[in-house]
Every structure is written in structure tokens, then in C-alpha cells.
Chain A
Amino acid sequence: ADFNAKRKKKVAEIHQALNSDPTDVAALRRMAISEGGLLTDEIRRKVWPKLLNINTNDPPPLSGKDLRQMSKDYQQVLLDVRRSLRRFPPGMPDEQREGLQEELIDIILLILERNPQLHYYQGYHDIVVTFLLVVGERLAASLVEKLSTHHLRDFMDPTMDNTKHILNYLMPIIDQVNPELHDFMQSAEVGTIFALSWLITWFGHVLSDFRHVVRLYDFFLACHPLMPIYFAAVIVLHREQEVLDCDCDMASVHHLLSQIPQDLPYETLISRAGDLFVQFPPSELAREAAAQQQAERTAASTFKDFELASAQQRPDMVLRQRFRGLLRPEDPTKDVLTKPRTNRFVKLAVMGLTVALGAAALAVVKSALEWAPKFQLQLFP
């Protein structure tokens, strides 16, 4: 009963924000982040366009069919969309699903045609299908086009260098909260590719329950474009014990982390990701992310030592100590960040879930204004 009352209240608040003139986008953003997100697809159809500052009366013309002949991406898109059966609701009749798959192809080709600076990547289709299923073909094209030139812009460069750069934020975030976990993952040399599909599909590729996917989309649409990498970090942190119980090698840790549990406590994790963002905003992590790139280069040269050690025994603890010993002196930036770590950790624990989400949302929006090469400001009017 309490749950229903809360829900009713939230629906009313969302409608109030929608109906005020001008639309109270800040309030909608808070609703999208706070517990339960936007609740229903019906509400999402109204609110998502507002979060992306899209005028729903003015969708782009759809002419995808003609594009199939000329598009250089058509073959790849076709291959990926044909194989993406799992994205559609289980009970959906084949005929209906096939119709939606055709629409999916059309939307993708249309956006690529209208934005020649954007490059298709495998996984983009996982994002587009989410919008298609929630808002329908015409509106999906508008929303995804805006998203592609903003939140997803870095993933759609000619190369994935910027995507890789964003992945480099993952380990510094983990390091801030849980240095032990961070060090373990570093000595396993697990890399960050396990989180690649999470990041570039906004988890659409890896979560089987569509309700969880749209809940996360509410959150990400309302937030800074780097929020998905904070959420990825929060998932890894949530699985701390499992990771530490793993053999300390690339295969075991990659294996564990790439299998995302389907029963994650999403609301808690969302709230935590918001907290982390406020605590350690991207500007603060930028330096460490750059250092990460440096460390990747040095990792190869130290690897022989680990191999040698591990050939004789299986000393995860020893290995980790050796790795610390090896790496720390080479990395002077680490020292600077090590000292305040304890304080931060305590502070974080105290703040924890008690941080008012409204405040988190505000900070998230504010810091979005400070970021980043390709993120444009008109998204947050």
C-alpha cells in the first residue's frame, strides 16, 4: 500500500512537471534518477524527449528504405539486427518482431546518413532497439539521433580511441573506493574490455530483463554521459568479494565480471553511482585515467616477472605484493591520491545512500556543463 501511494505520488509529480510552462526539466531529471525512475513506458514516451530536449512535433523524415542500396554500413547493420532476437519480448510473434527489425535497420541507416561524422559500431543496435520498443519508430529516430550526437558521440568516432579513454575511467573510480579490489584487478591484468559492451550499449546488450534496461536508460538519459562508466564501476564494487575470491589472472577475472548477474539491486546501485559521481567527478579522475594509459604500456614489461613467479606456484597474495612493490614507485601520481583515500572512503560511507538524490541529480547536471570534448551544452537548457 505504501509502495502504491509513493508511486501514485510520483506519477502526479511527473505530470505536474510535464504540464508546467515551461516544462520543469530539472524536476523530470530528478524523477528519472530517483527510485523507480520513470515507472512506465507511457511516461517514458513523454519524458525521454524532454530529457533530450527534443520537440516531439517535428520528427525527421523517414526514408530508410532507399538508403539500403547506398549505405556502406548496411551489411554490418543487417547482420547485427538479424542476430539480435533476444532484445525483443519473448512472446512477440515472429512477424511483428521481423517488422520491428526492419524499422530498426531503417532508423540506424537514417541516422548514419544524416550524420556522416558518426560511425556505426556493433552494439549501437542494442541501444536503438530500446528506444524503438519504448517510443516507436518515428520518435525513436529523433531521440537516438540526438543521443548519438551527444551521449554516444565518443563511441561513434572513426576509431574507438575515445571509447577506450572512457573505459580508462573505470579503474580510477574503483581505486578511489576500494584500493584493494583495484590492486587485485590490476595484478590480474584483466583490462577493461569486460565492461565495453556495458558502456557502449548502456547495458542493453547484457541485461535480459527489459524493465531493468529501461530503468537504467531513465537514469543515464538524465545524467552526465560518463555516468554509465560510474555505474559499471559500482557493479564491480558490488561484486568485490566474488572478484577477490577469483584466481588472480586475466581469464578468471574477465570471465567472472563479463557475466553480469541478472538480479542486481538496481536502485541501490543507481543511487550509489550518483553518489560516486558527486564524490569523484570526472574532472578529478581525468588525470588518473590518463595515467592508466601510461600504466598499460608499462604492464607488458612487468608481465614476464609475474609469469615467472606463477609458473612455480600459485601465489596470488605474493603476486599482488610483488605487483604493488613493482608498480607503486614507478607511478608518482599514485602517492598524491593515496593519502586522502582513507578520508574519502569514510566520508563516502557516511554519505552513502543518505545523499538526497535531488542533490545528486543537480550536481550531475551541473558537472555535465563542465565536461567534455564533444558533449554540447544545449542538452541541458
Chain B
Amino acid sequence: LRLSLGLAGRMGSEMESSLETSFSSSGAVSGTLGLLPPARSRIFKIIVIGDSNVGKTCLTYRFCAGRFPDRTEATIGVDFRERAVEIDEERIKEIQLWDTAGQERFRKSMVQHYYRNVHAVVFVYDMTNVASFHSLPSWIEECKQHLLANDIPRILVGNKCDLRNAIQVPTDLAQKFADAHSMPLFETSAKNPNDNDHVEAIFMTLAHKLKSHKPLMLSQPPDSGIILKTEPKPAVTCWC
């Protein structure tokens, strides 16, 4: 599941020069396997939303490029990143992450277009910023308005769990909220270098759920298909 290093290096230098940079590893993977070009049915489109500065760009970058970006800027509009992954050791899925601007004015009239045909939604809050947690109901409400289907999988991600002394949103509170909205909760850090598999596990769990079309209520561990060193647990304690 790792990206090749060469690719990650190239991405790194692009990130310096442009925030609009997107990433693709699909070439590398399909090259190895010599398969047909990916059909649309093999694409998972995931939209990532939440307040400004909660770390949406860092999370999506971490998953697609395999590392924490050196520096990021405010996302203006919608950025796009993608990565090809292998599920059940055979099928290629391209995971598209649509990274959105956090400022309220953008989502009101700009972002709707990008909700179209979304397969899953990732809500992100900043564990060290309680205001970003309190914004979640309005994000959820807005998401409901944009999405036609009600059964689209949604997950809740608390980011920046590495900043242990600054935590403002306790896990039990977040867990209650997640339960009330029938979402699994993950607490993580896009930054923590010792925690390379966790961001990965979150998105892979989601991808796996999407593939199996089961409703995304965690209480069972992910199936054997995902190749991970450690398996994510339903209510996740910080892995820092």
C-alpha cells in the first residue's frame, strides 16, 4: 500500500511551489499490474470538509503522498488529490480526495458542484480547537442538503491528537457526538511521524467499506482484505 519513494519525493517539491498540486499514483500501480485503464466504477470519490485550519489539506496530503507536508496554505475553493490502492489483493481502486476550503463563504455557493456523486464524506475537526468541534452540526446539516442519498458513508476525524497538552475536545464527548450521528470516530494526527499507518487505516477502512457496500457502522474490525500492520479499532484512542 505504500507509495513509491520516488513519487513521494516529486510530490514534495511540487507542494512547495503550488498548493493546487494534486497527486496521482495510479500510473505506477496500473503499470505494475498491466490492467486496463480504471473504469469509473473503480473510483471512490470522497469529500473532506470541516472548519478552516483543522488540517484537511494535511490529512489528504498525508494519505496521498505518504507524509506530512512541510507547509500548507489556505485552500481556496476545492483541491483534488488521488491515490490508487489495492483492495482484496486484486482490484484497483482510485481514491479521490476532494479537499475543500474551510471558510464558510466558500461552501455556501461554491462547493456544491463537488458534492456530486460523492461516495463518502469525511468530517474533520481540530481536537485542540473546540469551536471546530461545535461547527460540526452545521457541516452535517449542510452535507445533508447537498447529498441526495441518505446512506452515504460518513466518518468523523479528530485531527492533531499529537498536541496532547492542548486538547480541548475530550474523546468521550466526541464519541457521544459520533454515536448520535451514526458515524465512526477516529482521532489521529496527520503530523505524527511514528504513526504512519493511522491516517492510512482511516481512509482504507472507508474504502473497504465502500467496496463492500456495507453501512459504515463500526463495531466490527475491517475484513482481512486490507493489508495493514495494525487494525483500526472502532473508538480509537490516540495512537501517538
Q: How far is the CA of A163 from the CA of B76 in the complex (A)?
A: 13
A311 and B79 contact, Cβ closer than 8 Å, known pairs A83-B73, A84-B74: no
A36 in contact (CB, < 8 A): no
A86–B45 alpha-carbon span in the complex (Å): 30
**How far does the Cβ of A327 sit from chain B's closest Cβ, in whole Å?**
17
A258→B19 CA distance, assembly (Å): 9
In the complex, what residue of chain A is closest to B57 when comparing beta carbons? A83
Q: How large is the interface on B (under 10, 10 to 19, 20 to 34, 35 or more residues)?
A: 35 or more
Instruction: Report B-chain residues with C-beta under 8 Å of the C-beta of A85.
Output: 71, 73
Tell whether A121 is near chain B: CB-to-CB under 8 Å.
yes
Q: Are B71 and A258 in contact (CB under 8 A)?
A: no
Determine the chain A residues whose CB is within 8 A of the CB of B17 once the complex forms.
Answer: 208, 262
> Which A residues lie within 8 Å of B18 (CB)?
206, 208, 259-260, 262
Residues in B with CB closer than 8 Å to A250 are 116
CB pair B80 A79 closer than 8 Å: no
Set B20, B39, B105, B117: member contacting A197, Cβ < 8 A:
B20
Q: Which has the most chain A C-beta neighbours within 10 Å: B19, B96, B105, B116? A: B105
A228 interface residue per 8 A CB criterion:
no
Assuming the contacts A196-B77, A206-B20, asked whether A83 and B40 have C-beta atoms less than 8 A apart, the reply is no
Residue B220 lies at the interface, judged by CB distance under 8 Å to chain A: no
Which chain B residues border A161 with CB–CB below 8 Å?
A: 109
- Which of these, B79, B102, B106, contacts A160 with CB under 8 Å? B106
- A64 interface residue, CB < 8 Å from B? no
| A251 pairs with B105, CB closer than 8 A | no
| B 80-138 contacts with A by CB, 8 A | 80, 82, 96, 101-103, 105-106, 108-111, 113-114, 116-117
A:336-366 near B, CB below 8 Å: none
Interface residues of A in 111-132 (CB under 8 A from B): 119, 121-123, 125
B20-A122 in contact (CB<8A): no
- Whether, in the assembled complex, A193 has its beta carbon less than 8 Å from a beta carbon of chain B, the answer is yes
Q: A83-B73, A122-B101 are in contact. Are A251 and B40 (CB under 8 A)?
A: no
* A-contact bits for B147-183, CB 8 A (1 contact / 0 none): 0000000000000000000000000000000000000
Chain A residues, Cβ within 8 Å of B114 = 191, 193
Which of B19, B110, B117 sits near A164, CB closer than 8 Å? Answer: B110
0/1 interface trace, chain B 35-60, chain A, CB 8 Å (1 if under):
00101110101000000110000000
Known: A260-B18, A303-B116. A79 touches B74 (CB 8 A): yes
In the complex, whether B72 has a CB less than 8 A from a CB of chain A is yes
**Given A160-B106, A311-B40, are A259 and B22 neighbors across the interface (CB < 8 Å)?**
yes
Closest 10 CB pairs of A and B: A197-B76, A196-B77, A258-B20, A193-B77, A122-B74, A191-B113, A160-B109, A80-B74, A208-B17, A255-B22
Interface residues of A (CB under 8 A from B): 76, 79-80, 83-86, 119, 121-123, 125, 158-161, 163-164, 189, 191, 193-194, 196-197, 200-201, 205-206, 208, 247, 249-251, 254-255, 258-260, 262, 296, 300, 303, 307, 310-311, 314
* Pairs A–B under 8 Å by Cβ, sample size 15: A86-B16, A122-B52, A122-B103, A159-B108, A163-B110, A189-B116, A193-B78, A193-B114, A196-B76, A196-B110, A251-B45, A255-B82, A258-B79, A303-B117, A311-B39
Q: Which B positions have Cβ atoms within 8 angstroms of A? A: 16-22, 24, 37, 39-41, 43, 45, 52-53, 71-80, 82, 96, 101-103, 105-106, 108-111, 113-114, 116-117
A86-B16, A196-B76, A206-B19 given; 19 more Cβ-contact pairs under 8 Å: A84-B73, A122-B106, A159-B105, A160-B105, A160-B106, A197-B20, A247-B37, A254-B80, A258-B22, A258-B79, A258-B80, A259-B18, A259-B22, A303-B116, A307-B40, A311-B39, A311-B41, A314-B37, A314-B40
